[in-house]
Amino acid sequence: MQRDQKLDGLRKTIDEIDSRLIPLFVRRMETATQAAAVKKESGLPVLDAGRERAVTDRAVSSAGDYGDEAASLMRAILTISRQRQNKIIKGEDTGMKKISVINGPNLNLLGTREPEKYGELTLGEINAMIRGEAAALDAECDFFQSNSEGELVTAIQNAANGGGIILNAGAYTHYSIAIRDAIAAAGAPVVEVHLTNVHAREEFRHRSVISAVCKGVVAGFGPYGYILALRALCE
């Protein structure tokens, strides 16, 4: 129990650090062209270096509360993160597999929508779980949710050339030919995911019009189904 509490504390610390580092990274990306020009002329480092150093120092210090090994691990993670960020800014390939996680209608209500069927985790919490697993698999994920069929089609098209797509199309699973066609046209493999065992529910949920054009289907394992799909795409 004490170990679990320590791990939960470390996860929360990492999430907080992540929320602070991402805006800094975005600013670096938004001004990459200007920063490169300034660096070329003056030799100055990229902007916000001082603030970024303060955040990373705090990250290592916070991880150190859980022992020297945790501090060393955090330092290694931050070093790898900086290297990957610099590669992105320079337009280089990071070598990480890119997976798109796309969720359809009503999944934004997770946590409050029929928790006896869909569980108590929010979509944000599930995405955080997926992001953590992706880091362990040396992959990176982007996330998209919409209640609109057309927006889901566009999201699939935008992810078509990536490393793979994890798709929970919600109710569109059972009748959207447009989403089926988008999957069929995608170059990336698609794994269909459902939180519940759709075959044990109402008869209209037994039929999926998208399964035939997906690489595989995971159903009935709750949020863990996304992790299974991620592992399948990465391994």
| Best CA proximity match to 188, nearest among 151, 138, 142 | 142
* Residues annotated as part of the active site: 118, 194
Neighbour-count burial of 140, counting CB atoms closer than 10 A to its CB (0-12 exposed, 13-18 middle, 19+ buried): middle
Token duo for residue 22 = 């991402």
Token duo for residue 25 = 């990274």
Amino acid identity of 87? K
Q: Specify the residue for token string 């070093």.
A: 79
- CB neighbourhood size of 1 (10 A): 5
| Best CA proximity match to 48, nearest among 62, 71, 30, 60 | 30
Token duo for residue 90 = 């320079």
